[in-house]
Chain A
Amino acid sequence: MPSSVPISVSINGQPYAREVEARLLLSDFLRHELGLTGTHVGCEHGVCGACTVLMDGQAVRSCLVFAAQADGAELRTVEGLAPAEDQLHPIQTAFRDAHGLQCGFCTPGILMTMIPFLEENPHPTEDEVRLAISGNLCRCTGYANIVRAVMLAAERMRGGPGDDVSIEPRGVPHPVEAH
């Protein structure tokens, strides 16, 4: 039988102690052992970024980390973003307001990538945001609204109202009479 390892981790502020197989991926540990299925798995080879979580404050791809390597770490997943069950984190609200998600599968990874980015760089330019999310693949949105959502979140997290970021639809309808 594969060897197993005892680990203790804190996830979203809650302690967990488990025996895990040495080869168990952190992504599978979170999803299938603990039922924290908000962390999604898109490629299992570290390219798509969907499985990104925070490990001691740093964004990591949980498909490239063994659960055993997380022993003693403080982890944060998308489930731990919102301050309360009936509230959203400002970045979550911004993604909703700017339509920064469609199928929503890549979204948790993008949110968790942006949290440390915005902590380090609370005044990002659009180009900096584009660079910061360039390691996260999204197949639905074409990224434009993700960039807007992050800009909006940055402004609101700085305490601004978010008015500087336009989230109005860009196109102007030209009604045409039926014929």
Chain B
Amino acid sequence: MSGRYVGQSVSRNEDARLLTGHALFVDDVRLEGMLHVAFVRSDHAHATINSIDVSAALERPGVVAVYTAEDLGDYWRPGPLLVPPPPIEGIVFNQATQVPLAKDRVRHAGEPIVMVVAESRYIAEDALADIFVDAEPLDVVADLEAALAPDAPIIHPQLGTNLAAHVVQRHGDYASAKEKAAVVVSRRFHYDRGASAAIENRAVAARWDAQAQEMTIWDTTQAPIPIRNGLAAMLGLMQSQVRVVAPFVGGGFGPKIMMFYPEEVLVPWAAMKLGRPVKWAEDRQENFYATTQERGQVHDAEMAVDADGRILGVRDTFLHDTGAYDPYGLTVPINSQCTLLGPYDVPNYDAEFRAVFTNRITVTPVRGAGRQHGVFVMERLLDLAAREVGISVAEIRRRNYIVQDDFPHDHKILFQDFQPLVYDSGNYRPALETALELIRWDGFAEEKRAAAAEGRRLGIGVVSYVEGTGIGPYEGARVTIEPNGRVRVATGLGTQGQGHYTAFAQIVAEALDVDVESVNVVTGDTREFNWGTGTFASRGAVVAGSACHAAAVKVREKVIEVSARVLNVNEGEIELSNGTARVRSEPERSITLGELALRANPLRGGVTPGSEPGLECTAYFGPDRGSTASGVHAVVVEVDEETAMAKFLRYVVVHDCGKLINPMLVEGQVQGGVAQGIGNAWFEKLVYDDNGQLMNASFADYLLPTSLDVPDVAMSHRETPAPMNTLGLKGVGEAGCIPTGAAFAQALEDALSDYEIEVTEIPLSPNQLFEMLRAAPRRAASENTVATEAFA
């Protein structure tokens, strides 16, 4: 249902504020008498704390307070477990959540130990040098593969093990399937850590108004309502006494939904204790050490296929690095385990993982949230199997897609939302064919030969993925027509650049037939809307968008009811047009929605039993299950054999996120996701040394892709409606970055097809590729077939 507004590339309502420098970000908050915070953070990845001497800091002029764990008293307690372990038979889960300030022991470099509050940030940072922490270094679990060794140092002594979780999920009988296989391929795959690296670091500001008994907290969070609820409980306040505002947030990408960061817990507490506003703004180095990260996994995976390349079964056993603590439960590894299955029919699946504690920074979801790893493993296994069977990489995918009449498709394991992994809808093969066309697959062999004649090495790759999106529990929205004719929409989630102010306005404008510009959307302010969960798992547009739609439809019904009464006609004769309600057969008999809002809230009479004043309704949307988006990425890379530098020449994304609300915004999400995927595949790796020290904690050393590295992505949209919501929406937030590593790996191997090179790890770097090239034997000429040539 492309409408007047829904489905159109409407420019964004929020842009003017952002472009003129008038948008409020948390670190822009300035309050009378505000104090500033800096933290002493652990230099060691693993150590016991013998003593802390803060006396010199307290004497420094301008220092107002210095707090250690001891000073927090009863307020000191480990954070909550955000997502309990899913109800999977035989599951083992060992909980160890982060603490506000380290007490006896530190478990990763950068863990906060002392909080300094001062008149300025400069003074607070000066005071850090005055503080002496007497710490005794312990042996370090620097790597996930070392965590379960019998002599490994134990990070959480109360658990007696570094095992955070053990989960087995199975369907069918892999061992029997394997016996029937024509080809079995197996490999070990590594996927290493990267940073979310939002350009805005985290920040928290808090003001306790003792007269009003109200706490206001500005927080760079993706989940203002759960933050409000949690902090109210910790501070001993009613939820209604606490207002959390997540104003404009400069990129989220997952770690800004981690709860509760130590700084988030401490800043409001200090504001209350000191009776003055307090602010902490993370700096970039802290962001590397104190903001959660993701991606460390090692998979031992195996695929059994028949002689035609049809998948008989997959077995995957992996280790997942959860870092020093595991507050986010098993969302990431469960996503890996589930998303591995991709758009494919896998009749037998045997999947097992162990999550382990390491002395690295805590892992919580980062855009993709474990899906990348699963997709990388599956797509690489398919590439290997295709080679063994003797079919092209495109053909093996064609032969294994779930077919269009097999939906809903039940994979018979549990997803991260604790619901069965059931795909709601999809249509995979046409997306592949479009991608092949757009990347110019058929002509590529010739293109590659022509390039080779000029001494240039080209390679092509094509991979598929699915993305579980739009999961519950619920979101809500309130839609109000104001007497000035403008429409106000409030919802509970936070927004970090996705364009919610516009996409939600489009949905409401469509239902009420008003201009998009006349709809004001508010997100991220708990005073504006009281209920909700947050922006994660590509769910904002799907879940909150559906709630906005439901609320707007209810307001529309109310508009029709009231205007029929005012205009003295039957409701069936009312139509809405450009901000007015009018009589269909006599359009000159009309009333503006603003006037109608006044009439709906009269000073005398008006509210009869069973009715409510005003033109305002609230609605909620809670899907039983998420909706499964999908897509195909195709890429052409050029590799310089001498420097081992690779360049992305062409990039194609054909994706299906159901009905598009705003194609311009969707394309922005996909293009930006691909950029992050390219960073993840080729530029960005967090390098830890054997002592658990992060070796590249700056933007000078940890390289984000720049405008010179990211190609202009060619896109095509397919719109297979989601059956579980009225608008047919699926999420798109993470689609761009999920399969990039797998596409890149396949294209690299194609470009270097005369070398015996297998790409089994991501991220790669030019240095690593250079070493691989030096070590790799050349293939015999007869083996050197191009995938595209063999079977187009």
Residues of chain A having any CB pair with chain B under 8 Å: 1-2, 21, 23-24, 28, 31-32, 35-45, 47-48, 50, 77-79, 81-82, 88, 92, 95-97, 99, 101-108, 111, 129-131, 133-147, 168-176, 178-179
Apart from A1-B61, A101-B18, A104-B250: 13 A-B pairs, beta carbons within 8 A = A23-B122, A24-B122, A42-B201, A102-B251, A105-B199, A106-B199, A142-B710, A143-B675, A143-B706, A144-B710, A170-B713, A170-B715, A173-B718
B663 touches A171 (CB 8 A): yes
Asked if residues A45 and B699 are in contact (CB atoms below 8 Å), the reply is: yes
Kindly state the separation between the CA atoms of A133 and B425 in the bound complex, as whole angstroms.
41
Taken residue by residue from 478 to 517, chain B's Cβ proximity to chain A (1 for < 8 Å, 0 otherwise) reads as 0000000000000000001111000000000000000000
How far is A77 from B20 in the complex, measured between Cα atoms in Å?
A: 10
Contact yes or no, B21 A79, CB < 8 A: yes
User: Given A44-B284, A82-B20: A142 and B717 within 8 A (CB)?
Assistant: no
Beta-carbon contact of A96 and B15 below 8 Å: yes
| A29 vs B201: C-alpha distance when bound (angstroms) | 19
CB–CB B30/A104 < 8 A: no
Do B675 and A38 touch (CB < 8 A)? no
Residue of B nearest to A41 (CB): B27
* A102 with B672, Cβ < 8 A, contacts A173-B717, A174-B434 known: yes
Q: How far is A39 from B200 in the complex, measured between Cα atoms in Å?
A: 12
Q: How far does the alpha carbon of A172 sit from the alpha carbon of B710 in the complex, in Å?
A: 22
Q: How far is the CA of A134 from the CA of B660 in the complex (A)?
A: 31
Tell me the chain B residues, 423-438 only, with Cβ under 8 Å from chain A.
Answer: 425, 427, 430, 434
A2 to chain B: closest CB distance in Å? Answer: 8
Chain B nearest CB: distance from A9 CB in Å?
Answer: 17
Q: Which of B75-83, B183-191, B548-556, B720-728 contacts A (4 or more CB under 8 A)?
A: B720-728
Interface contact B248-A104, CB-CB below 8 Å? yes
Q: Which 6 A-B pairs have the closest CB atoms?
A: A38-B21, A105-B250, A103-B497, A104-B18, A142-B675, A102-B497
Whether the Cβ atoms of B199 and A47 lie closer than 8 Å is no
Is A78 touching B21 in the complex (CB atoms < 8 A)? yes
Cα-based distance from A171 to B434 in the complex (angstroms): 11
Cα distance, A179 to B722, chains bound together (Å): 10
Tell me, yes or no, whether B51 is within 8 Å of chain A by CB. Answer: no
Q: Which of A2, A28, A170 has the most CB of B within 10 A?
A: A170
Q: Is the CB of A96 within 8 A of B19?
A: yes
Question: Chain A residues with Cβ under 8 A from B716's Cβ?
Answer: 171-172, 174
Cβ A139 vs Cβ B253 within 8 A: yes
Contact A139 B704 (CB under 8 A): yes
Task: Give the docked Cα–Cα distance between A60 and B112 (Å).
Answer: 33
| Contacting residues of chain B (1-21) with chain A, CB-CB under 8 angstroms | 2, 7, 9, 11-12, 14-16, 18-21
CA A172 – CA B197 in complex, angstroms? 32
Complex contacts, A111 vs chain B, CB 8 Å: 19
Using CB atoms and an 8 Å cutoff, list the residues of chain B in contact with chain A.
2, 7, 9, 11-12, 14-16, 18-25, 27-28, 30, 61, 121-122, 197-201, 248-251, 253, 283-284, 404-405, 407, 425, 427, 430, 434, 496-499, 660, 663-665, 667-668, 671-676, 698-700, 704, 706-708, 710-721, 723, 728, 736
Indicate if the CB atoms of A78 and B20 lie closer than 8 Å.
Answer: yes
Across-interface contacts of B24 in A (CB, < 8 A): 37
CA distance A48 to B16 in the complex (A): 23
A144 to B673, CA, bound (A): 12
Contact A146 B707 (CB under 8 A): yes
Given contact pairs A41-B27, A95-B15, A99-B11, A137 touches B698 in the complex (Cβ within 8 A):
no
18 residue pairs from A and B, CB less than 8 Å apart: A32-B30, A42-B199, A77-B21, A79-B21, A99-B665, A102-B498, A103-B250, A104-B15, A105-B200, A130-B707, A136-B707, A138-B707, A142-B675, A142-B710, A143-B710, A145-B668, A168-B9, A179-B405
CA distance A141 to B198 in the complex (A): 12
Name the residue in B21, B27, B61 with the highest tally of chain A Cβ atoms < 10 Å from its Cβ. B21
Residue of A1, A37, A48 touching B25 (CB-CB under 8 A):
A37
Question: What residues of chain B lie closer than 8 Å to A134, measured between beta carbons?
Answer: 706-708
**Contact present for B668 and A141 (CB under 8 Å):** yes
- Assess whether B251 is in contact with A105, with CB atoms less than 8 Å apart: yes
Known pairs A95-B19, A101-B18, A139-B251; A176 contacts B719 (CB<8 A): yes
The distance in angstroms between the C-alpha atoms of A142 and B250, with both chains bound, is 15
Given A95-B15, A142-B713, are A175 and B21 neighbors across the interface (CB < 8 Å)?
no
Residues of A close to B673: CB separation below 8 A: 142
CA distance A107 to B18 in the complex (A): 8
Interface contact A103-B251, CB-CB below 8 Å: yes
> Given the complex, which residues of A lie within 8 Å of B699, measured CB to CB?
42-43, 45, 47-48, 137
Docked-complex contact B199 and A142, CB < 8 angstroms: no
A130/B708 contact (C-beta < 8 A), A45-B698, A79-B21, A139-B676 known = yes
Q: A21-B122, A42-B284, A146-B707 are in contact. Are A48 and B199 (CB under 8 A)?
A: yes
Q: Is the CB of B197 within 8 A of A139?
A: yes
Chain B residue contacts of A144, Cβ below 8 A: 671, 710-713
- Chain B residues with CB under 8 Å of A21's CB are 122
Task: From known contacts A106-B199, A133-B707, A140-B497, infer whether A45 and B672 are also in contact, taking CB-CB under 8 Å.
Answer: no
Is A142 within 8 A of B674, CB to CB? yes
Q: How far is the CA of A42 from the CA of B286 in the complex (A)?
A: 12
Residues of B within 8 A of A101 (CB): 15, 18-19, 497
What CA separation (Å) do A173 and B716 show in the bound complex? 6
CB distance from B76 to the nearest CB of A (A): 31
Q: Assess whether B200 is in contact with A103, with CB atoms less than 8 Å apart.
A: yes
List A contacts of B674 (CB < 8 A): 142
Cα–Cα, bound, A104→B602 (Å): 42
- Which residue from chain A places its CB closest to the CB of B675 in the assembled complex? A142
Q: For the complex formed, measure the closest distance between the CB of A106 and the CB atoms of chain B, giving whole angstroms.
A: 5
- Establish whether residues A104 and B497, one from each chain, have CB atoms under 8 Å apart when the complex forms: yes
Question: Which residue of chain B lies nearest to A25 when distances are taken between CB atoms in the complex?
Answer: B122
Q: Are A79 and B706 in contact (CB under 8 A)?
A: no
Cβ contact within 8 Å between A178 and B723: yes
| Chain A, Cβ-Cβ closest to B702 | A47
Please measure, in the bound complex, the distance between the C-alpha atom of A129 and the C-alpha atom of B706, giving whole angstroms. Answer: 12
Which single residue of chain B is at the shortest CB-CB distance from A81?
Answer: B20
Complex CA distance for A140 and B698, rounded to whole angstroms = 19
CA distance A99 to B12 in the complex (A): 8
Is there contact, CB below 8 Å, between A40 and B16?
A: no
Q: Which residues does chain B contribute within 8 Å of A136, judged by CB atoms?
A: 707
The residue in B15, B23, B430 that gathers the most chain A C-beta atoms within 10 A of its C-beta is B15
Q: How far is the CA of A177 from the CA of B314 in the complex (A)?
A: 32
Given the known interface contacts A41-B27, A137-B706, A143-B707, the answer about A178 and B728 at a Cβ–Cβ threshold of 8 Å is yes
